[in-house]
Amino acid sequence: MTTEAGSLKRVAGSIVVGSGIVDMKMGEVVLVGREELIGEVVKLTEDSFTAQVYESTSGIGPGEKILGTGKRLVAELGPGLLNKVFDGVARDLELLFKERGSFIRRGVKVTKLRRDVKWDFKPSLLRGAMIREGDVIGTVEETPMLLHRILVPPGIKTGTLKKIEEGSFAVDEVVAVVSDKDYEHKISLMHEWPVKVPRPFKEDGRLTLDQPLITGQRVIDTFYPIAKGGSAAIPGGFGTGKTIMLQQIAKWSDADVVVYIGCGERGNEICDVLTEFPKLKDPRKGRPLMERTVLVTNTSNMPVAAREASIYMGATMAEYYRDQGYNVALMADSTSRWAEALREISGRLEELPVEQGYPAYLPDRIAEFYERAGRMVVLGAPERSGSVTIIGAVSPPGGDFNEPVTIATLRYAGVFWALDPELAFSRHFPAVNWLKSYSLYTGPLLSTFTEAWGSYSEYEKTFKWWQDLSTQYIEYRSKALELLNSAASIESIARVIGESALPDDQQLILLTAEILKEGFLRQSAFDAVDAYCEPLRQVILLKMIIDFHTGAMKLVNKKVPIDLIRRLPQIPLIMRAKENPGRIEYVSHLMEETLDALEKIAENYGFTIKDEQ
Ligand SMILES: Nc1ncnc2c1ncn2[C@@H]1O[C@H](COP(=O)(O)OP(=O)(O)OP(=O)(O)O)[C@@H](O)[C@H]1O
Ligand SMILES: [Mg+2]
């Protein structure tokens, strides 16, 4: 609701200065000019205010009106977010497009959630029930993939449910009434929430981050895992694979809901998402992925200020699904574009810049964003927990990680997947550098990861190797990392003296590292089989490679020439096993065949591998 009118004094890019509104507040949404462009107040002085405008201000000039709204920038939260594409201020792009054609005009008023769709609401409480904020009062099937829980909005402390109705409703129609001595609240399927304020959760409700977000990407799940509720940064220079990596996680991870923010990236990247996502199916439920996805897009040709809005919009939507008790993955591509927008606006506000022109509050803003991640007990009954996992791409100029945005991000994110231009150049994707990356979630996660395999108990009967696998796996992972580390230092020696001059055990380490890189770390996003690698397959692929190494090392220790091992016909098969649709059965068979082949060589030399320690 518009409260007061003032007038524009100055326009500078996405920043406008106005006066004539007495009780303007920081963060208040203003409507600028005849077209009522959406803006937000970012600075107040005694007799004027400055606002950043989320739409192009070209053609707008001094003297035009500016309206206060008395409201902060809010997100509309309710059914109808999934399977949709929104712009930075959460306007439905499909509706904008319908209304205005492909050139989206500014100032177009489109409500955020559609009002013309009816949802079947099924109450889960009866009239007379005592309720409080966060309680689930009923459900709506938002998509076949997600049962949307309708919550008592935060802020309604307690009350009696005076009325609750089953039936078909638009998001803004009243479905329930809560009353207390002093007030009466109407509850509809949607409510608003100011995007810059993190949504509340239960006091002391933060939970330990000990559940993995399974992404089906080997270098992530096995080596540098991310927890549900954790945060990760993907810094990488131009073309190193940031977008593909985010998209892989958006497609395959076991999150219930994905919120994907395209922030300031090229339009064609967003276009890829828009054309590709609707065709994809969830690997677990077989339904279209869009049914669990919200896209918030704000491309490089849209006004910079809207980048900021899109980040907060996305975070708020993610928290809203968390509050319903879901695991949400929130991705932002790229947070650097957001930081650049902060820099540009700060410059126009004539604030004192610190490093590389960024404002002094940059690290705080980045911290605030990543702090919205977490796994928590949420408000209300029935008791439930949910999580928001945040994954942000960072695009440092020139790929140099020693710059303010990357440095600040690494301080707050729990996982660092360092993308390496050399790997990308040699087409090793995902180009995650296995020596420089880290994850703070490996300890507790690996044990839960192993527990998760327990559910594949059918394999215990089928495969003899299954028995001790879960306990061995942590060892396998450390062994693999140790091998890759040793290989890196051996390689630097080999560069000087030549590989053939190395002792056989070192040559074997190089050979196994090669197999690990090719057969395990490399994973094509475009391979029909390998784009997603389920945890169990990750386990046995790694086991096969490490067991090969252990067996081969016993041969080398007994002076069997390395060339005999190198020539084993199974080696190229091991490297390709990841792409074999025969999957687990195939790998299991290949593994046994390889060990038999090694054993046969040993026999020729008069010993057996099994007897060797
Ligand atoms: N997992 C992968 N499998 C196969 N190819 C990949 C993979 N990841 C990246 N690529 C290749 O690298 C190219 C660049 O990847 P991507 O667009 O994700 O890079 P980016 O870091 O987002 O680039 P920019 O800096 O331009 O945003 C892709 O078009 C693709 O050919
Ligand atoms: Mg990209």
Question: How, if at all, do strands 15-19 and 49-53 pair?
Answer: antiparallel
Percentages of the chain per state (helix, strand, coil), in multiples of 5: 40, 25, 35
Token pair belonging to 54: 């989320």
Residue 209 has pLDDT above 80, yes or no: yes
Q: Whose CA is nearest to atom 28 of ligand 1?
A: 241
Residue 370 pLDDT exceeds 90? yes
Q: What is the mean pLDDT of residues 370-389?
A: 97
Q: Is the pLDDT of residue 199 over 50?
A: yes
- Write the pLDDT tens digit of every residue in 427-444: 999 999 999 999 999 877
**pLDDT band for position 553 (50/70/90)?**
very high
Residue 582 has pLDDT above 90, yes or no: no
The three-class DSSP label of residue 307 is helix
Residue that the structure tokens 């074999």 belong to: 580
How far from 564 is each of 361, 509, 516, 571, 598, CA to CA, in Å?
Answer: 61, 15, 19, 12, 10
Q: Are 553 and 559 in contact (CB under 8 A)?
A: no
User: What pLDDT shows up at residue 442?
Assistant: 86
| For the chain, counts of helices (H) and of strands (E) | 17, 25
Calculate mean pLDDT across residues 7-16. Answer: 89
The C-alpha atoms of residue 93 and residue 87 are separated, in whole angstroms, by: 6
Separation CA 450–CA 535 (nearest Å): 9
Stretch 517-532: mean pLDDT: 95
Directed axis angle between helix 242-252 and helix 267-276, to 10°? 20
Average pLDDT over residues 306-327: 94
- Class for the domain spanning 119-189: mainly beta
Q: Where are the domains of the chain?
A: 4-72, 119-189, 218-440, 454-611
Q: Comparing 211-215, 232-236, 401-405, which segment has the lowest mean pLDDT?
A: 211-215
Other CB atoms within 10 Å distance of the CB of residue 158: 12
- Asked if residue 315 has pLDDT above 90, the reply is yes
Confidence of residue 322 (pLDDT cuts 50, 70, 90): very high
Whether the domain at 4-72 and the domain at 119-189 fall into the same CATH topology: no
205/319 Cα distance (integer angstroms): 14
Q: Which two tokens stand for residue 62?
A: 């001094």
Give the CA angle between residues 191, 196, 197 to the nearest 5°.
70
Q: Which of 272, 213, 236 is nearest to 394 (CA)?
A: 236
- pLDDT at site 34: 87
Contact 86, 274 (CB under 8 A): no
For ligand 1, whether the C-beta of 326 sits within 6 Å is no
Separation CA 241–CA 426 (nearest Å): 12
Residue among 464, 547, 465 at smallest CA distance from 512: 547
User: What local confidence, expressed as pLDDT, does residue 102 receive?
Assistant: 47
Rounded to 5°, angle at Cα 236 from 518 and 230: 90
Q: Could you name the CATH architecture of 454-611?
A: Orthogonal Bundle (1.10)
Helix (H) or strand (E) holding 56: none
Q: What is the CA radius of gyration of the chain?
A: 28
d(CA 370, CA 356): 22
Q: Any idea which residue has 């082949």 for tokens?
A: 597
Q: Is the CB of 565 under 6 A from ligand 1?
A: no
**Residue 558 and residue 55: Cα distance in Å, rounded?**
72
Q: Give the residue among 336, 367, 391, 370 at the shortest CA–CA distance from 224.
A: 391
Q: How confident is the model at residue 166 (pLDDT cuts 50, 70, 90)?
A: very high
Min mean pLDDT across 77-91, 192-206, 422-436, 512-526 is at: 77-91
Question: How far apart, in whole angstroms, are the C-alpha atoms of residue 430 and residue 82?
Answer: 28
Q: Check: CB of residue 12 under 8 Å from CB of residue 32.
A: no
* Strands 174-179 vs 130-132: parallel, antiparallel or unpaired: unpaired
Look up the CATH number of domain 218-440. 3.40.50.300
Q: Is the CB of 429 under 6 A from ligand 1?
A: yes
Ligand 1 mean position to 245 CA, how many Å? 8
State the DSSP code for 425.
Answer: H
The token pair that represents 526 in the structure block: 């475009």
Q: What is the mean pLDDT of the chain?
A: 89
Q: Can you tell me the mean pLDDT for 356-371?
A: 94
Q: For residues 217 and 248, is the Cβ–Cβ distance under 8 A?
A: yes
Higher pLDDT, residue 567 or 470: 567
Q: Is residue 413 a contact partner of residue 224, using CB atoms and an 8 Å limit?
A: no
DSSP string of 369-390, one letter each residue = HHTT-EEEEPSSSS--EEEEEE
Q: Is residue 610 within 8 Å of 562, Cβ to Cβ? A: no
pLDDT interval class at 535 (50, 70, 90): confident
Helix (H, G, I), strand (E, B) or coil at 330: strand
Write down the pLDDT at residue 462. Answer: 60
Q: Is the peptide bond before 48 cis (omega within 30 degrees of 0)?
A: no
**In ligand 1, which atom is closest to the CA atom of 431?**
8
3-state secondary structure 253-285: CCCCEEEEEEECCCHHHHHHHHHHHHHCECCCC
Q: Does residue 337 have its Cβ closer than 6 Å to ligand 1?
A: no
Pocket test for ligand 1, best of 429, 432, 520, 533 (most atoms within 8 A of CB): 429
Specify which of 35-39, 538-542, 553-557 reaches the highest per-range mean pLDDT. Answer: 553-557
Amino acid at 223: F
**Residue 2 pLDDT > 60, yes or no?**
no
Is any atom of ligand 1 closer than 6 Å to the C-beta of 244?
A: yes
CB-side neighbour CA atoms (13 Å) of 406: 18
Rounded Cα distance, 176 and 170, in Å: 13
pLDDT tens-digit map of 84-123: 888 777 677 766 666 655 444 555 455 578 899 999 999 9
Higher pLDDT, 328 or 274: 328
C-beta of 240 in contact with ligand 1 (< 6 A): yes
pLDDT at 612: 72
- CB of 249 within 8 A of CB of 234? no
pLDDT tops 80 at residue 240: yes
Mean pLDDT of 484-494: 95
What is the model's pLDDT at position 103?
A: 46
At the top level of CATH, which class does the domain 4-72 belong to? Answer: mainly beta
- The closest alpha carbon to 235, from 361, 407, 373, belongs to 407
In percent, the amount of the chain with pLDDT more than 90 equals 63
pLDDT at 454 over 70: no
User: Can you give the pLDDT at residue 112?
Assistant: 79
* d(C-alpha 22, C-alpha 97), whole Å: 37
Residue predicted with more confidence, 423 or 610:
423
Q: How far is the CA of 522 from the centre of ligand 1 (A)?
A: 13
Q: Name the residue of 244, 340, 521 to mutate for ligand 1: max ligand atoms within 8 A of Cβ.
A: 244
Mean pLDDT, residues 200-213 taken together: 93
Q: How far apart are CA 332 and CA 349, in angstroms?
A: 26
